[in-house]
Amino acid sequence: IDVVNNLLERIETYADHNIFLEVFAGDARERATVIDQKFAHGSQGKLAGLVISIKDNMCYSGHKVSAASKILENFESLFTATAVQRLIDEDAIIIGRTNCDEFAMGSSNENSAYGAVKNPLNTALSPGGSSGGAAASVAAGLCHVALGSDTGGSIRQPASFCGVVGHKPTYGRVSRYGLIAYASSFDQIGPFAKNVEDAALVMEVMGGADPMDSTCSQREADVHGDLSLDPQPLKVAVYKDLLNREGINPEIVAHMNAQMEQLKSKGHEIVEVDFPHLDTLVPIYYILTTAEASSNLARYDGVHFGYRSENATDLESTYKRSRTEGFGEEVKRRIMLGTFVLSSGYYDAYYGKAQRARKLIQEHTDAILKEADVILIPTSPHTAFPLNQELNDPTVMYLEDIFTVQANIAGNPAISIPTGKHSNGMPFGIQLMTGRFEDDKLLRIANAMMK
């Protein structure tokens, strides 16, 4: 209870950062009292004492969930997401729901209907997105672990901007039941933490088969034990010419080179591989995710749940006005883009082609990771950018995702670890990616590199 009270006090002092959309204070205190008693009897769960925030796109029975959208304002969940339930079953305490971009669409947290989040390390800067509040909640020390979701980088990029660890698991590792869908074949829930150990512990509890999500793998969750790495040398793949690309901050390039030297000095091998598809990744990602989003978001019609326009006069205008008034600009842009790429006449040219390209990316990623243990790339081309800067041009914002979307297109696990510090005072992460369902190996390598 002391831990919870201290964190609740600390959350108060960060109120102007807009990190939490709602703090479950009463709830958290109640749970803490119960868990204190369990401690007294020695019957506490694996995560007893761990305080966790959840992104506002995960359902928690009896609590509001809005996906940071006006269209779900005041909507209350009737059930709990599997990932969240498993944490609760092991006595974790859910402290509140964190701000994010509306329906997880964005890279700066500025698409939230409830205002942007300030980066706790520098309040003029964005915490990244879409899980900006989640990253900030850990960076500011308001909870121990945060759950975020990652469709194209929404865990790793904010982790990089806020100087914390962010893990996007293999697609199918963690159940999506109770996660509000953006692009179902890309979305994964994953943890933010200060260190790899905490992320691994949460993954162990959260992961594994779930009859409620047929896309969730039947494999048992990983059990990590201690996170040491086999002493065998690793083959670390880096993309040829990647660091010579325009637009990557020179200090990030220098840091990447230093990391490679350090790996070599520890006996690991750096292999340069061809991956000529970088420029196709963002287009593939935005065609497929907007297509899936346009279908997933069709359910917000002003009838079944959420916001209903008061200006509607009949069924047709209920749909139209509720959606027009309820969704934000970026969400509408993506729904329109998605319906366009799926429309007859364009389907083959865009959606069909992007599906085929996705397959090729998967095959090429597999081929690289057959030869190498891990791929090393930056998480983001730069450190956290100022708030109110990039919003005016959505395509500039889309290019933010160039290094992160490969893992979601291919389904591989990836992690951002905060090894870099820029002379501008801000942290930045490096990204590691391993083969599908090699999350355990990924976490071990990441843990070794953070030491």
Per CB under 6 A, does 390 bind ligand GLN? no
Question: What does the DSSP assignment read for 231-287?
Answer: SSPPEEEEETTGGGSTTS-HHHHHHHHHHHHHHHHTT-EEEEE--TTHHHHHHHHHH
Is 265 considered catalytic here? Answer: no
Type of residue found at 436: R
| CB-CB contact of 173 with 217 (8 Å) | yes
Q: Which is nearer to ligand GLN, 55 or 436 (CB)?
A: 55
Helix, strand or coil, per DSSP, at residue 435: coil
Q: Which is nearer to ligand GLN, 106 or 178 (CB)?
A: 106
Per-residue string for binding with ligand GLN, 345-384, x by CB under 6 A?
----------------------------------------
The residue from 91, 110, 150, 390 that contacts ligand GLN (CB under 6 A) is 150
In the Cβ-directed half-sphere of 56, how many Cα atoms lie within 13 Å? Answer: 37
Per-residue string for binding with ligand GLN, 171-190, x by CB under 6 A?
-----------x--------
- For ligand GLN, the binding residues in 61-100 under the rule CB under 6 A are none
Cα–Cα distance for residue pair 420/310, rounded to 1 Å: 51
Shortest separation between residue 376's beta carbon and ligand GLN, angstroms: 21
Cα–Cα distance for residue pair 312/306, rounded to 1 Å: 15
Per CB under 6 A, does 106 bind ligand GLN? yes
Catalytic residue among 53, 55, 69, 160: 55
Taking CB under 6 A as the binding criterion, the range among 18-26, 134-142, 144-152, 345-353 that sits at the site for ligand GLN is 144-152
Taking CB under 6 A as the binding criterion, the range among 104-112, 139-147, 347-355, 357-365 that sits at the site for ligand GLN is 104-112
Cα–Cα distance for residue pair 49/51, rounded to 1 Å: 6
Per CB under 6 A, does 292 bind ligand GLN? no
What does DSSP say about strands 145-150 and 235-239: parallel, antiparallel, or unpaired?
unpaired
Cα–Cα distance for residue pair 417/372, rounded to 1 Å: 20
The residue from 127, 132, 133, 152 that contacts ligand GLN (CB under 6 A) is 152
> CA angle 316-318-321, nearest 5°?
105
Q: Interface with ligand GLN by CB under 6 A: which residues?
A: 104-107, 130, 150-154, 182, 401
Residues with a catalytic annotation lie at 55, 130, 154
